[in-house]
Amino acid sequence: MVQLHPWSRYVAIGDSFTEGIGDPEPQSPGGHRGWADRVAEVLAERTEGFAYANLAIRGRLLKQIRDEQAEPALALRPDLISVSAGGNDIIRPGTDPDEVASRFDELIGLLRRDGATVVMFNGPDIGMTPVLRRVRGKVAIYNENLRTVAKRHDAIVADMWSLRQLANPQMWDADRLHFSPLGHHTIAIMVLEALGVEHELEPLHPEPLPSRSWRAARVDDIGWAREYLVPWVVRRIRHQSSGDRVKPKRPSFPSLDDS
């Protein structure tokens, strides 16, 4: 017997993580699938007339998500909202994780305004990633703050830090900043379990990566830095974002668009 759940209107907000970058799918709106689409697909199987919107845009900072996405999301009258925000703030030099968490607290209070269930994400353990490992301590501090935020607003925490499978390199995209299709699939399972929703998604167990010589690994690192790291650093210096000209891939519920 298929287990039902109490949600019929789901809105996802955030940045590239929620947009689904790293999980390309030409048939999906915006050309990316991602964990949120995968979660919505499972939820739709268990509720007739289920509606899903995704307002997330890559590169968005916490203030932009608050200013550009929160009110449009609430205008759709969702009963389930997922939000991942603050990650792009935390990785920027000089940011204070306590201050970012304080602003995130205000966002969660706003999203809970009409009684919707809110799922919020903490940051993954990025100690194994070459770009982000230096801010691992800031992420840990931010995560501890987010647990307090979740308790204050009765929100659900999708615990990325404890998802140890993400240490597998195959969970990450070639840019080492976003998750691969396997990573998004694994995160979708975690979110569904955090919601207490039964599902038929199977954990994938990829074969171990073949061993490589130090020289081969070094060549890969140099190629990665040239293709991904340098452009990322240049955008930070110029205060540019990869999402400057990107629009939400699912800006509204189909049922609302048709009315």
142-191 residue pLDDT tens: 999 999 999 999 999 999 999 999 998 889 988 878 899 999 999 999 99
Q: Is position 156 within any domain?
A: yes
Position 2 scores a pLDDT of 59
Rounded to 5 degrees, φ, ψ at 160 are -70, -35
Compute CA distances 232 → 4, 14, 121, 190, whole Å: 43, 19, 23, 29
3-state secondary structure of 52: strand
User: Nearest CA to 177 among 124, 238, 248, 243?
Assistant: 124
CATH of the domain at 129: 3.40.50.1110
Q: Is position 174 within any domain?
A: yes
Q: Is position 229 within any domain?
A: no
Q: Count how many domains the chain has.
A: 1
Q: Is position 230 within any domain?
A: no
Position 212 scores a pLDDT of 47
pLDDT digits (tens, 9 = 90+) for 103-151: 999 999 999 999 999 999 999 998 877 667 889 999 999 999 999 999 9
Radius of gyration over alpha carbons of the chain, in Å?
18
Q: Is position 1 within any domain?
A: no
Q: Residue 86 sits in which domain range?
A: 9-201
3-state secondary structure of 82: strand
pLDDT digits (tens, 9 = 90+) for 212-224: 454 544 445 445 4
